[in-house]
């Protein structure tokens, strides 16, 4: 058993999580079948979540899936391409995101109202990455400094043989920290995002991959690395897992529009269905932190949502009982709230709650 799973078991046991738990009941090592989902054009959607998309793989809770991902725009982002070509791809899918999304993966026994835990066990990038900003003179709202950056800029970077480093330019070396920019389950019918084609009377009409929401999606949270696990409320039968928008490095904020965008030879996911958990927003757990999440078009409201989720979690945990006022006080002293991204229309904030503050044995 790896150290991450050992830690998860110990923390869950200490917390005494029961049928009304915020996270999970005491975890056991879960073993299931291993599956592979390659990134073929049939298995990858460009920029939309569609509940009517045929499932590409059916798995059981506890199985593992090695998922391959593509670069943006159905793998059309290639080394050495020009900014004009990148702009053309951005315009080629009106309303949709640029993201290439492998899936959906159907998880047996996952039903609306359940929680789907997805463990990220391993990430292996492919050989190169790219960062770019679109020209502010043509895209004046995309990027924190779009008005100050009238021209587009693109930087391609090759990775070293071990896929651990990239050279930005001589004298600047970047250590890779891969994570999925997008990890989602099937759409929330109450998501206020516009539907494809302007449809207004069908809450299950396709939704663009641009805006993150309660089902996850384009969260761009750089803590979601190998060894972490995310808990997502289920809205559709089977859960319906997609992943893409693969990143190999990103600063909080993702200020110019893109991270070090890349693709994966494999990201190994393990979905686990929880019947006795209830969540409104996604939550993440790493070896060292619990992480609450909030999204909104208004960054201030995103901050409020993430803070409320953090306070609710602290008030519900069982390690050391806390009132909501105590949880609010504690969060103000130890909570580290970070701007996930400001470039996806719907802004993101994630609040880090350190596990180290709990000293009760």
pLDDT at 14: 34
DSSP string, 51-94: TTSPPSEEE-TT-EEEE----HHHHT--TT--HHHHHHHHHSST
Nearest to 234 by CA among 195, 189, 266, 200: 189
Residues 67, 25 share a domain: no
Q: Which residues contact 305 (CB under 8 A, 6 or more apart)?
A: 281, 293, 294, 295, 296, 349
Confidence of residue 127 (pLDDT cuts 50, 70, 90): very high
Residues 265, 177 share a domain: yes
Is the pLDDT confidence value at 122 over 80? yes
DSSP letter assigned to residue 315: H
Confidence of residue 25 (pLDDT cuts 50, 70, 90): very low
pLDDT at 65: 98
Residues 201, 54 share a domain: yes
Query: What residue numbers bound the domain in which 327 lies?
Result: 288-361
Number of structural domains in the chain: 3
Q: Which residue has the tokens 């004298």?
A: 171
pLDDT at 12: 42
Q: Which residue has the higher pLDDT, 78 or 21?
A: 78
Is the pLDDT confidence value at 30 over 90? no
User: Residue 175's beta-bridge partner residues?
Assistant: 165
What share of the chain has pLDDT > 90, as a percent?
A: 91
Residues 173, 201 share a domain: yes
CATH code for position 246? 2.60.120.580
Is the pLDDT confidence value at 18 over 60? no
pLDDT at 346: 98
Nearest to 286 by CA among 324, 336, 321, 247: 336
Please report, for residues 102, 147, 254, the alpha-carbon distance to residue 82 in angstroms, rounded to integers and kept in the order given: 26, 21, 21
pLDDT at 360: 75
Q: Which of 254, 279, 304 is the C-terminal boundary of a domain?
A: 279
Residues 211, 116 share a domain: yes
Residues 292, 236 share a domain: no
Residues 47, 12 share a domain: no
Residues 139, 23 share a domain: no
Average pLDDT for the chain: 92
Q: Which of 256, 279, 302 is the C-terminal boundary of a domain?
A: 279
Average pLDDT over residues 298-306: 98
Is the pLDDT confidence value at 342 over 80? yes
Confidence of residue 184 (pLDDT cuts 50, 70, 90): very high
Nearest to 258 by CA among 144, 95, 348, 88: 144
Residues 160, 53 share a domain: yes
Q: Which residues contact 224 (CB under 8 A, 6 or more apart)?
A: 120, 179, 180, 183, 230, 284
Residues 319, 303 share a domain: yes
* Tens of pLDDT, residues 303-324: 999 999 999 999 999 999 999 9
- Nearest-angstrom CA–CA distance, 257 and 146: 9
Please check whether residue 29 is in contact with residue 48, taking contact to mean a CB–CB distance below 8 angstroms: no
- Nearest-angstrom CA–CA distance, 59 and 8: 23
Q: Which residues contact 344 (CB under 8 A, 6 or more apart)?
A: 210, 211, 212, 218, 220
Is the pLDDT confidence value at 104 over 90? yes
Q: Which of 224, 244, 279 is the C-terminal boundary of a domain?
A: 279
Residues 37, 14 share a domain: no
* Tens of pLDDT, residues 343-359: 999 999 999 999 999 99
Residues 177, 299 share a domain: no
Confidence of residue 29 (pLDDT cuts 50, 70, 90): low
């Amino acid at each position: 058993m790896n150290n991450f799973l050992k830690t998860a078991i110990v923390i869950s046991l200490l917390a005494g999580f029961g049928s009304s738990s915020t996270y999970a009941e005491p975890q056991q090592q879960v073993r299931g079948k291993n599956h592979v989902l390659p990134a073929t054009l049939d298995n990858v959607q460009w920029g939309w979540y569609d509940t009517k998309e045929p499932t590409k793989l059916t798995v059981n809770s506890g199985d593992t899936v090695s998922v391959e991902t593509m670069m943006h725009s159905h793998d059309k982002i290639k080394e050495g391409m020009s900014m004009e070509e990148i702009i053309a791809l951005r315009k080629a899918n009106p309303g949709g995101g640029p993201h290439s999304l492998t899936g959906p993966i159907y998880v047996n026994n996952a039903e609306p109202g359940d929680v789907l835990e997805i463990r990220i066990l391993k990430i292996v990038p492919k050989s190169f990455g790219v960062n770019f900003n679109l020209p502010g003179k043509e895209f004046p709202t995309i990027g924190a400094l779009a008005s100050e950056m009238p021209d587009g800029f693109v930087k391609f970077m090759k990775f070293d043989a071990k896929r651990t480093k990239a050279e930005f330019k001589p004298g600047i070396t970047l250590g890779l920290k891969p994570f999925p920019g997008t990890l989602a389950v099937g759409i929330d019918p109450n998501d206020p995002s516009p539907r494809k084609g302007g449809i207004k009377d069908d809450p299950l009409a396709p939704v663009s991959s641009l805006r993150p929401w309660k089902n996850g999606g384009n969260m761009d949270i750089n803590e979601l690395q190998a060894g972490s696990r995310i808990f997502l409320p289920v809205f559709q039968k089977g859960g319906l897992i997609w992943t893409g928008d693969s990143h190999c490095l990103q600063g909080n904020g993702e200020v110019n529009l893109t991270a070090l965008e890349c693709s994966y030879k494999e990201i190994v996911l393990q979905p686990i269905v929880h019947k006795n958990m209830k969540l409104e927003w996604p939550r993440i757990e790493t070896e060292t932190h619990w992480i609450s999440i909030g999204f909104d078009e208004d960054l201030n409201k995103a901050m409020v949502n993430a803070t409320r989720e953090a306070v609710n979690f602290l008030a519900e945990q069982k390690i050391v009982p806390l009132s909501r006022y105590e949880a609010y006080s504690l969060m103000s002293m130890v909570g580290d709230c970070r701007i996930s991204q400001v470039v996806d229309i719907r802004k993101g904030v994630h609040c880090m709650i350190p596990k180290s503050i709990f000293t009760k044995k």
